[in-house]
Amino acid sequence: MEKKDNYLLQQCYHCGNQGLMEIVVKHQHTYGGPIFNKYGEEIDIDMQEYFDWILLSCPVCKKVSLVQKYSNECEYNPNTKTYGEYVDLLYPECNVNYLGVPEEIKSAFEAALKVKNIDISICLLSLRRVLEAICKEQGAEGKNLDSMIKNMLDKGILPEVMNDACWIIRQLGNDAAHAGKIRIYKSDVEQTIDFLKTIIQYLYTLPVQMDRLKVKIEKRREKQKKVQE
Ligand SMILES: [Zn+2]
């Protein structure tokens, strides 16, 4: 095995370092494949799904991260030259599913998360900036963040229930700009991160996930129909 196979390029969400992290353990499992009847005869074949769980060690802070790699035999991704490979960070807590999330939103959100244990004010300002970036990416009209959010609600891009979440993100971002005068608590920041995470998942990840599962169910139904014919 070549040495580079023992390392994976990853960001450490304990300390913010980005670089090659050593693979401590790799656990793999494949689901699906041929289905046999009680006589040991192959009667059907299910799509194979490959899971890799990789435990990484950070060279800077020595803490571990757990990454999940998923792929299956049906979805070929020409960019990564792999069959539908998706990489998710399961631990530490930055368990954001970035599926369908535009690169600029992802990097802005990650930049905010990186400083949450270092500087609360900068983190809140960054979260506010992420919300601004989302509004722009969604084509919201308005001169300021307030009016852009209103426009997103009017257009039905965001449901009414998210209005308060946006207000909190905006408000705490403003408070952070006047750091020192207004006391901000760490738990406020944690919750604000959660609200923004929910908005990101709602706007970008859920539609892709639902679409993907819908296609899968439809394909399965078609297959079933053909078998019955
Ligand atoms: Zn680290």
Gap between the Cα atoms of 226 and 220, Å rounded: 10
User: Are 101 and 205 spatial neighbours (Cβ–Cβ below 8 Å)?
Assistant: yes
Q: What is the mean pLDDT of residues 11-22?
A: 83
Q: What is the mean pLDDT of residues 204-219?
A: 92
Q: Give distance in angstroms: CA of 19 to centre of ligand 1.
A: 10
Q: pLDDT at position 83, please?
A: 60
Q: What is the mean pLDDT of the chain?
A: 87
Q: Which of 77-86, 127-136, 176-185 has the lowest mean pLDDT?
A: 77-86
Q: Is the pLDDT of residue 49 over 90?
A: no
Q: How far is CA 152 from CA 66, 143, 159, in A?
A: 36, 13, 9
Q: pLDDT at position 21, please?
A: 95
Q: Give distance in angstroms: CA of 12 to centre of ligand 1.
A: 5
Q: Which residue has the higher pLDDT, 25 or 44?
A: 25
Tens digit of each residue's pLDDT (9 = 90 or more) over 101-158 = 999 999 999 889 888 877 888 999 999 999 999 999 999 999 999 999 999 999 999 9
Q: pLDDT at position 218, please?
A: 92
Q: pLDDT at position 95, please?
A: 60
Q: Give distance in angstroms: CA of 94 to centre of ligand 1.
A: 13
Q: How far is CA 212 from CA 66, 82, 99, 132, 206, in A?
A: 25, 17, 11, 28, 10
Residues in the chain: 229
Q: pLDDT at position 126, please?
A: 94
User: Are 68 and 88 spatial neighbours (Cβ–Cβ below 8 Å)?
Assistant: yes
Q: pLDDT at position 71, please?
A: 84
Residues in a beta bridge with 11: 18
Fold entry, domain 97-229: Four Helix Bundle (Hemerythrin (Met), subunit A) (1.20.120)
Q: Is the pLDDT of residue 13 over 50?
A: yes
Q: Give distance in angstroms: CA of 50 to centre of ligand 1.
A: 28
Q: Give distance in angstroms: CA of 52 to centre of ligand 1.
A: 21
Q: What is the mean pLDDT of residues 80-84?
A: 62
Q: Give distance in angstroms: CA of 32 to centre of ligand 1.
A: 36
Q: Give distance in angstroms: CA of 97 to centre of ligand 1.
A: 20
Q: Give distance in angstroms: CA of 18 to centre of ligand 1.
A: 8
Q: Is the pLDDT of residue 3 over 60?
A: no
**b/e map 199-212, b = 16+ CB within 10 Å:** bbbbbbbeeeeeee
Kindly list the domain boundaries of the chain, sorted by start residue: 1-95, 97-229
User: Are 96 and 109 spatial neighbours (Cβ–Cβ below 8 Å)?
Assistant: yes
Q: Give distance in angstroms: CA of 91 to centre of ligand 1.
A: 12
Q: pLDDT at position 4, please?
A: 53
- Token pair 């609600």 is at which residue? 153
Q: Is the pLDDT of residue 1 over 60?
A: no
Q: pLDDT at position 78, please?
A: 65
Q: Is the pLDDT of residue 2 over 60?
A: no
Q: Is the pLDDT of residue 160 over 70?
A: yes
Residues in a beta bridge with 34: 45
Q: Give distance in angstroms: CA of 65 to centre of ligand 1.
A: 9
Q: Give distance in angstroms: CA of 63 to centre of ligand 1.
A: 6
Instruction: Write out the chain in H/E/C secondary structure.
Output: CCHHHHEEEEECCCCCCEEEEEEEEEEEEEEEEEEECCCCCEEEEEEEEEEEEEEEECCCCCCEEEEEEEEECCCCECCCCECCCEEEEEECCCCCCCCCCCHHHHHHHHHHHHCCCCCHHHHHHHHHHHHHHHHHHCCCCCCCHHHHHHHHHHCCCCCHHHHHHHHHHHHHHHHHHCECCECCCHHHHHHHHHHHHHHHHHHHHHHHHHHHHHHHHHHHHHHHHHHHC
- The percentage of the chain sitting over the pLDDT mark of 90, rounded to a whole number, equals 48
Q: Is the pLDDT of residue 80 over 70?
A: no
pTM exceeds 0.85: no
Q: Give distance in angstroms: CA of 15 to centre of ligand 1.
A: 4
